[in-house]
Amino acid sequence: MTNSTSTKNIRPADILRKKRFGGELNESEIRAFVRGVVDGSFADYQISALLMAICIHGMSDRETLALTLAMAHSGDMLDLRRIPGVKADKHSSGGVGDTTSLILVPLVACCGVRMAKMSGRGLGFTGGTLDKLEAIPGMRVEMDIASFERQVTDIGCAIIGQTAELAPADKVLYALRDVTETVDCLPLIVSSILSKKIAAGCDVVVLDVKTGSGAIMPTLEDSKKLARTMVRIGNLSGKRFSALITDMDQPLGNYIGNALEVEEAIDVLAGRTGGDLRDVSLQLGARILTGAGAAATVEQGVEMLAAKIDSGEGLRKFAEMIRAQGGDPRVTEDTSLLPKAKSTVELRAGEPGYLSAIRTADVGSAARLLGAGRERKSDVIDPAVGIVMHKRVGDRVRRNELLATLHVGERSDRIGAYNLLQRALKIGPDPVSRPTLIHDVIEAEDA
């Protein structure tokens, strides 16, 4: 695509007219659009009109790559070359009970690959990594870039919030996408996610694309399309991207809520619990190791990470990261130091049978009603509240058997959460198969 046209001479109306009739925008036009988003020279109604035109007509790979790179360059571009070795990151498209970052970041760091991770906060039914970390007493997730680089260099890992200067165009565009019903537009999703990951400066990025009732893409076909597009565009940018498509037809872990999810992550790192959360964490981490050249195969990567759990190194590294970011590392040895809810409410089965289905989004929404999540970015969360699931899809259930425990606080809508959770769990008379955990793997050559 040509760069010959000065972006200053391109009028918003020209870009709008071209895309309105299904034309392909060139790089100069896209850069002019992103510049106008950031400096305010494009009005909100013009931006909204273009977003809708993109949603209707789509974008080619060339357009999506140009939009991704323009958004990435709309603010600070982190240069992590001062940190020795390969730098890696992981991104999840959002889920319920998904605490993989707290598990794989210290484990991968123990294997010699530096994890320079920037994360976000939860919104709606999706939990945020930063909210979970802040449930640890004293834990800081805001850090200047020099301190971030120093910590990653010294101990091999850090998880912090994204700086305000990182891909500022995305903040404006996402706010308008939210009110114009263009959130689910594929090229806009891709450019939003990848622009921040490219600006963050890592060499290797593994994507965890969720599919199912608790995912942004509820169908497997749509999830595969999103994963392939992100891997394809990500690798065109010069970074090493790959993706797993993982199941969200039930919560990934059994604990939903911020302090509760930290507790479950600690239990996994300590080797006290396994299951789907551990398995997905090891698979994602193994692909980071192979992408970084630290493992020859995924199988070898899984073995390396599992060994760090068995030896206790992973848990010690997590404690080291907590200490470095001002938190109390004693929580890794004594989870009673984490915030605890005032009381609990039990949800029991009314009839025998088999747990045949879980509406995962409703489980996440029930946790939000308890105070574990937020509807708006300004909402204050309660780190102690949440839900502990005692059954998985496919499990046999006896009458009056415990299905879930709600951890409630003073501000919790316990009745609303209980009723929503009760409706989310379906019990049937016949046995059902357990959901497939990993539906597909997308490497660069597949995309």
359 is catalytic: no
Among residues 92, 192, 213, 223, which one is catalytic? 192
What is the distance between the alpha carbons of residues 189 and 233, in angstroms, rounded to a whole number? 12
391 is catalytic: no
Assign 247 a pLDDT band (cuts: 50, 70, 90).
very high
Domains and CATH numbers, the chain: 7-72 (1.20.970.10), 80-334 (3.40.1030.10), 339-428 (3.90.1170.30)
**pLDDT tens digits, residue range 123-154?**
666 668 999 999 999 999 999 989 999 999 99
Tell me phi and psi for residue 218, to 5 degrees: -75, -20
Is the torsion defined by CA of 291, 294, 298, 302 positive or negative? negative
92 is catalytic: no
Non-local (6+) Cβ contacts of 299 within 8 A are 286
Assign 122 a pLDDT band (cuts: 50, 70, 90).
low
Indicate the range of 76-80, 317-321, 372-376, 426-430 predicted with least confidence.
372-376
Q: What do you get for the CA distance between the two ends of the chain, in Å?
A: 22
Residue 113: per-residue pLDDT: 97
Q: What percent of the chain has pLDDT over 90?
A: 82
Among residues 19, 114, 196, 439, which one is catalytic? 196
Residue 380: per-residue pLDDT: 86
- By C-alpha distance, which of 220, 218, 123, 232 is closest to 187? 232
Q: Is the pLDDT of residue 117 over 50?
A: yes
Q: Is the pLDDT of residue 446 over 80?
A: no
Distances (CA, A) of 243 to 100, 221, 447: 14, 15, 10
87 is catalytic: no
Assign 324 a pLDDT band (cuts: 50, 70, 90).
very high
Residue 447: per-residue pLDDT: 65
Among residues 19, 90, 91, 317, which one is catalytic? 91
**pLDDT tens digits, residue range 278-297?**
999 999 999 999 999 999 99
pTM of the model: 0.91
Q: Is the pLDDT of residue 349 over 80?
A: yes
Q: Is the pLDDT of residue 2 over 60?
A: no
In this structure, the number of other CB atoms found within 10 A of the CB of residue 45 comes to 10
192 is catalytic: yes
